[in-house]
Every structure is written in structure tokens, then in C-alpha cells.
Structure 1
Amino acid sequence: MQLKYHPDEYDLRGQLRLPLLFWLVLLLQARTWLIFIMAGASRQQGDALLSLFYPDPQAFWLGLVLGIPALAALLLTGYRQRWPRVWQCWRGVLIVALLLASVSQAWQMQQVGLASPLPLLFTLFDLLCLWWLWRSPRLRDCFLPPDPHDE
């Protein structure tokens, strides 16, 4: 078995470890869920927190829906060997979800205007994450099926 990466880059099962940036991308994609949890934990200032990030309730609900693939990816990371076909497809699901999030944010900024720099900042981060998910060879290798000849 010839390794493409340094042996430290593999876990005990022989799977390529997911990059730290992947976890950060998932947290960015699930940001509406994180804000929702923080708002629920802070009951006194929860409404103010939600209105700061999501003045439009429709944007909040859309953010929750678009964050579901990231939450599912967080759960699927533990089942990479058990459900390899689902795992292989999930990178594409994350790319589509980020693309939809970027388009919806750009549309909302066009409709409402730029009252705050947060939507523009999140859109730029989403586009950067989208580019990385699409172009990173290391991440692409993390989603490849296990090679049966390696065992």
C-alpha cells in the first residue's frame, strides 16, 4: 500500500483525516443553527441576537433549512466506513447547499439593501468556502471510497 499523504494524516482505520478547515466550513454553514442555540440559551437577549443576524424572519428559516446538510455532515463523519456511498455524495450536497446559501443571500441583499455588513461578509465567506470545497484535492480524497486493494 502506497500512501499519498504522510502516515500521520490517516486515522487508526486507515481513513484520511478530515482537514480542520472542513470543520470550520461546516460550522459556517450551520451558523443559523448555532445562533438559534445561542439565542435559546440566552432567553433575555435571544430576540435581540436573532434580530441582529436575521432581521427578516424568512432569512432565518431559510438559513435553518440550508444548515441541515452541514448538520448531517457532522453526523456522517462518524459513519464514513458504514455508509460510504452516502459519504461520497455528501461533498456535492455541501457544495449545492453553499451555492444556494450564497445565491439567496445575494438576492436578499439586492431586495433589502445593505443595512449591515454582516450579509456581505457571510456571502464572501460562503463563496470562499464554496471554492475550497470544490477545489481542495485533500478534501476530495477524504470523500473517495476506500480502496479495496489497500486492505
Structure 2
Amino acid sequence: MRLKLPLHKYDEAGRVKPPWLLFVCLCFLARGIVVFIASLSFRQDGGLLLSIFYPVKSQFYLSLFTAIPAILTLFFLGFRERIWKAQLGMCYLSLPIVLAYLLISDLLIQLYILRAQHFAFAWPTALTLCCVLLLGWYLVTSKHMRIMLADWRLNS
């Protein structure tokens, strides 16, 4: 049997490991929590960092709808060996739906922020929107993701 990916992309059980860009994507989608934690570390004005990324507080609260599922997905991917050993691997069948929800909701939040700024150009918003589109393009076209999802479907 010929392997579809290089050997280092498989774990000890013979399952395809998630690509490292998936972890980067999920960390990026969890940036609301990361920005919140970083703003807590500033002694002078923690709200300044939040206002750079989220000019209106309601936009920050909306970003938590994306950040919390992204953190939970990171935990599920991090503990995948324990989940496979507990015979709960079928919970990974919903991974494409969760990723689609995360990307679409983050894209909608960014468009909402742009609309609130009256479509005025701002670097943080432009970079965030560009990164969301690039990560979405990667997840849709990634050969590694397609092979991983097919392999995990077979093993569940």
C-alpha cells in the first residue's frame, strides 16, 4: 500500500496528523480571547489594545462566538489520541462543519466591523480580513486536509 502523504505526517497509530496550518488557523480564529488576555497584561490602559482590534465593545463580544468554538476545537485536536482510544472518533466527522462555521462567522464579524467603520480603511481590519480569506482558501484547497478528513472518517 502506497502512502498518500510523507511518513512524518502520520502518528503512531497510522492516522494522518492534522496539518500545522490548521492549528495556526484555529489560533487565529481564537484571537478574541488572545487579545483579551493580552489586554489584561497592560497595566496602564488595557482597553487600548481591545479598541485597536475591536473599536466597539459589542464587536469584541461577537468575536467570542468564534473564539470559544475555536479553542474547543483546538482542545479536541490536541487530545485526539485519548478520544480515539475512548472510541469517540466519530465526533471528528463534524470538523468540516465547525471549521466552516468558524470561518463564515469570523468573515461576517469582519464585514460587520467594516460596515461600522463606514468601510473606511484600517490596517488591523484589512489584515484580519485578508488572513481570514487566505485561511479559508487554504482549508478548502488543502490536499492534506482532504486526506486527513477521509482517513478520520474511515477510522471512526
In the superposition, the TM-score normalised over structure 1's length comes to 0.86
Equivalent position amino acid for 1:140 in 2: R
Which residue in the other structure is 1:126 paired with? 132
Report the number of matched residues: 148
Which residue in the other structure is 1:137 paired with? 143
Q: Could you say what secondary structure the match of 1:51 adopts?
A: helix
- Name the CA distance, whole Å, in 2 between partners of 1:59 and 1:50: 10
Is residue 62 of structure 2 the alignment partner of residue 62 of structure 1?
Answer: yes
- Name the CA distance, whole Å, in 1 between partners of 2:75 and 2:149: 15
Equivalent position amino acid for 2:94 in 1: C
- Name the CA distance, whole Å, in 1 between partners of 2:41 and 2:148: 35
Q: CA deviation at 1:32?
A: 0.8
Query: Structure 1 pair 54/111, CA: closer, same or farther in 2 (3 Å)?
Result: closer
Q: CA deviation at 1:75?
A: 0.5
Q: CA deviation at 1:115?
A: 5.4
Higher relative contact order (CA 8 A, sep 6+): 2
Q: CA deviation at 1:56?
A: 0.6
Structure 2 residues not aligned, in runs of 5+:
none
Which residue in the other structure is 1:88 paired with? 93
Q: Is the 8 A contact 2:110 2:129 kept in 1?
A: yes
1:1-12 equivalent positions in 2, closer than 5 A: 1-12=1-12
Query: Structure 1 pair 43/65, CA: closer, same or farther in 2 (3 Å)?
Result: farther
CA offsets 1:83-103 (integer angstroms, 9 cap, x no match) = 322212122211222112112
Which residue in the other structure is 2:46 paired with? 46
Structure 1 residues not aligned, in runs of 5+:
none
In the superposition, the TM-score normalised over structure 2's length comes to 0.84
- Name the CA distance, whole Å, in 2 between partners of 1:44 and 1:140: 47
Which residue in the other structure is 1:33 paired with? 33
The RMSD of aligned alpha carbons is: 1.9
The percentage of counterpart residues that share the same residue type is 27
